Amino acid sequence: MTQRDANILIIGAGPVGLAAALELSRRGFQPRIVDKDEDFTPAEQSRALGVNNRTLQLLTPSGVADDLLAEGHMVKRLRIVNEKGRAVILSDFQNADAFHPFMLIVPQGRTERLLAQALKARGVEVEWNTEMTGANDDPKNPAVTLAGPKGEETVSPDMLIGADGPGSATRKAFGFSFEGEGYPAEFGLADVELDEDFDASEVVFRFSADGALGRIPMGGRTVRYVSPRPDISKALPPGVKVKAVIWRSNFRISFRHVRTMRNGAVFLAGDAAHVHSPVGARGMNLGIEDACWLAWLIEQGRAERYSALRLPSVNKVIAQTKHQTDILLRMNMFERFIRDHMANALIKLAPFKRAALSRLTGLDSKDPPWLARNA
């Protein structure tokens, strides 16, 4: 058997499983990808919106970056406004040492469809309604039960990739730990069409005496409001003109990750391996990065290096997002003083500016060795 004959099974066709399948097929493999759902995430019920520079770089060789750029909305600045209505932090992507001076906004459901379209063009299609329901608990020689439209089958792949999200059956079946903590706060989210003009090139985060509210432009007059208050309607600015509510949802956050992302021939990627808060738009992007690194390492015959290469980035993003979330939820008087009187000055200093923008662009992780820095 040559390396490319390897029989690879991917559990989960979210953005991460699809990216893994696409990158493997681009490198000459023919992976099998299954998902228990009947279709992609509905575009109007998308969790992830922000596609960062790193993801655009990684998806350039497959052509998906161009597809995303063709339909995405560009966010050029992040503005943070304090309780008194004063802008206290302004981060402008124009100042980033990046491939694109913006964060691209594309609903996760669209990103999934674009990845799957490129995958289909390479002859691989998602097998929907097909759930991994059991496993043999032998990570060196994994065997899993798949229940699909034609009944049950047992599959023994050479490599098994669990990209099956935060509740990962793969992770549970093959003995990976998943340690960390959950936060009690429940967040509210609403995607709405506004009936008023606003600056669609800025994400605005506004603190108020009784909470905080983020507004992310999604293109046209559609925006996402997000707040650490479960009833988002109570957090909306007074007098805001909402024409239509497209989607409302609530979510909780936790910070957890596996100790190793590989056990024998079983690999975990994306939310199956790590979860954290959506602050900074990192989750899907980090998972797509896992997928691309794993495909490269499999091609190189060095898949055993996967966990050691990915865990430093995972740990960094979890620490950063936890710190940023704590600032949002638990800022004390001293931190508020720093934010209001020093943050904007600090962020203009080159090292702070670079650090903030490299996090927002996702370019704070190791450069992919198979791509030139300016690919």
Ligand X SMILES: Cc1cc2nc3c(=O)[nH]c(=O)nc-3n(C[C@H](O)[C@H](O)[C@H](O)COP(=O)(O)OP(=O)(O)OC[C@H]3O[C@@H](n4cnc5c(N)ncnc54)[C@H](O)[C@@H]3O)c2cc1C
Report residue 184 as tokens. Answer: 């009690």
Asked whether 16 and 270 are in contact (CB, 8 A), the reply is yes
Q: Does 16 bind ligand X (CB under 6 A)?
A: yes
- Would you say 145 or 196 has its CB closer to ligand X? 145
Identify which of residues 9 and 298 has a Cβ nearer to ligand X in the complex. Answer: 9
Cβ 271 to ligand X, closest distance in Å? 4
Choices 6-14, 174-182, 204-212, 352-360; region in contact with ligand X by CB under 6 A: 6-14
Residue 37 three-state SS:
coil
Q: What is the rounded CA–CA span in Å between residue 43 and residue 210? A: 32
Output 120 or 332, the one with its CB closest to ligand X: 120
Biggest CA-to-CA distance, the chain:
67
Q: Is 228 in the site for ligand X (CB under 6 A)?
A: no
Q: What does the alpha-carbon distance between residue 231 and residue 188 come to, in Å, rounded to a whole number? A: 6
Using CA atoms, how far residue 71 sits from 65, 114, 182, 203, 254, in Å, is 10, 10, 35, 18, 31
Sheet holding 50-51, edge to edge: 50-51, 103-105, 73-75
Asked if 127 is part of the footprint of ligand X (rule: CB under 6 A), the reply reads no
The CB-of-51 to ligand X minimum distance in angstroms stands at 7
* Binding of residue 144 to ligand X (CB under 6 A): no
Piece of the chain touching ligand X by CB under 6 A; list 1-9, 13-21, 172-180, 351-359 = 13-21
287 touching ligand X, by CB under 6 A: yes
Taking CB under 6 A as the criterion, the residue among 284, 303, 317, 363 binding ligand X is: 284
Return the axis-axis angle of helices 108-121 and 15-26, rounded to nearest 10°: 20
Q: Residue 337 CB, nearest distance to ligand X (Å)? A: 30
Instruction: Considering only residues 19 through 38, tell me which ones interact with ligand X, judged by CB under 6 A.
Output: 34-37
Termini Cα distance of the chain: 33
When binding is defined by CB under 6 A, the residue of 22, 33, 65, 132 that contacts ligand X is: 132
17 interacts with ligand X by CB under 6 A: yes
Build a one-symbol-per-residue string for 97-116: x at contacts with ligand X by CB under 6 A, - elsewhere. -----------x--------
State yes or no: residue 14 binds ligand X (CB under 6 A).
yes
Among 230, 343, 228, 358, CA closest to 282: 358
321 φ, ψ (degrees, to nearest 5): -70, -30
Q: How deeply is 123 buried, as exposed, middle or buried, from its count of CB atoms within 10 A (0-12, 13-18, 19+)?
A: exposed
Binding residues for ligand X, rule: CB under 6 A, are 11-17, 34-37, 47-50, 108, 131-132, 163-165, 169, 189, 251, 270-272, 278, 281-285, 287
